A and B are shown apart, each in its own frame.
Chain A
């Protein structure tokens, strides 16, 4: 059931990504070259709505509708990997003009070039996990913010 719900929300997310033309590398390039404020305003709006919504859930001590547990959020403390990892990600984003959501959505729109970005991603993600193990936690990874 959890997987079904996750799929449905993913579908909604993918639909909006495609509709907002975030799957168009030229749009992302204009954003990063500061020629177009559209996506910055969109992110700020999403942040505001998400802050309001998730805060309401937590202050009202809401229980998850499907799974029943208390809605709860735990944060990982700020670590060096958040900075170093984000630098690598930022470089990759500027080169490909696609971040992970749009990579998946490009695939759904039949932009086959994204298969290459995805292949690189899969190799990189697996490589990172192996490095994290081999360096005994010094090169750490986590799953989620």
Chain B
């Protein structure tokens, strides 16, 4: 069962319940990029401790690890999809550069696909709706451009 992708209704409902549950349990919004930004601040001495948002990210790593143990195994040897076809040097450079853009961008925008796209929109934030429209449109456009030129 874990080897196949669940129906989108299943994963969608689970994500919606996680957004609701986290707000209900500790009055926190669900989001990932803020947590990774917090980890960056902690690692570089800007913060003195890891907060709940960092721990949410640690949880994600753990949850995916549990899935690998219970489900389809680890992906240690995998190449990186479409980027992988262009060689290891290209993949490494693209992931570093792309990661840099994601770090700067999500911190400026105050959220990513989870914080804005799933949680902020569900909470009715206008800024989240706009941010989601913009990053979706940009990513789709850029994917087509990359597909055309690379």
A interface with B by C-beta (< 8 Å): 2-21, 23-27, 29, 32-34, 38-39, 41-54, 56-57, 62, 64-67, 69-73, 75-79, 81-97, 99-101, 103-114, 116-129, 139-145
Contacts and interface: CB of A to CB of B under 8 A. Distances in A.
Interface of B: 2, 5-6, 8-9, 11-34, 36-41, 43-44, 46, 50-53, 55-68, 71, 74-76, 78, 80-83, 91-92, 94-128, 130-132, 134-144, 146-147
Contact of A46 (B19, B40, B92, B134): B19
A38 B67 contact: no
Contacts of B121: 47, 50-51
Given A33-B144, A45-B16, A108-B61, A9 B25 contact: yes
Contacts of B40: 121-123, 125-126, 129
A71 B107 contact: no
11 contacts: A3-B55, A13-B15, A24-B81, A25-B80, A33-B147, A44-B12, A47-B122, A71-B27, A86-B131, A96-B95, A100-B114
Contact of A108 (B11, B21, B52, B64): B64
A104 B36 contact: yes
Contacts of A53: 16-17, 19-21, 23-24, 122
Q: Please give me the 9 A-B residue pairs with the lowest Cβ-Cβ distance, nearest first.
A: A10-B59, A120-B99, A124-B103, A49-B16, A45-B12, A90-B138, A14-B63, A108-B64, A85-B108
Contacts of A38: 5, 8
A142 B142 CA distance: 25
Contact of A96 (B30, B66, B94): B94
B108 A105 contact: no
A121 B109 contact: no
Nearest to B53: A6
A90 B59 contact: no
B98 A95 contact: yes
B29 to A, nearest CB: 6
Contacts of A82: 109-110, 127, 130-131, 134
Contacts of A94: 138-143, 146
B64 A106 contact: yes
A50 B135 contact: no
Nearest to A78: B127
B102 to A, nearest CB: 4
Contacts of B64: 14-15, 17-18, 23, 104-109
Contacts of B8: 38-39, 41-42, 45
B16 A64 contact: no
Contacts of B80: 25, 111, 113
Given A95-B146, A110-B68, A101 B113 contact: yes
Contacts of A3: 50-52, 55
